[in-house]
Amino acid sequence: MCPYCSAELTLKKLEKETEGRGFFKQETMYSCPKCKKVLGFSRGKFTS
């Protein structure tokens, strides 16, 4: 559930916006497709 608009969310539904600021600084931003609030970030393909 989105904490902002209570929309039902799955990983597939989450919008992914990849910000490419150079090869080594890639961030993927996850935002709610309904209210566009940013829910989190992940850096690159690997999360720790």
Q: What is the spatial distance between Cα 14 and Cα 23, in angstroms, rounded to a whole number?
A: 23
**Which C-beta is closer to Zn ion: that of 13 or that of 25?**
13
Which is nearest to 17 in space by CA: 37, 46, 47, 2?
Answer: 37
CB of 25 to Zn ion, least distance (A): 27
CB of 26 to Zn ion, least distance (A): 24
**Which C-beta is closer to Zn ion: that of 7 or that of 29?**
7
Q: What is the spatial distance between Cα 17 and Cα 33, in angstroms, rounded to a whole number?
A: 11
**Which C-beta is closer to Zn ion: that of 28 or that of 31?**
31
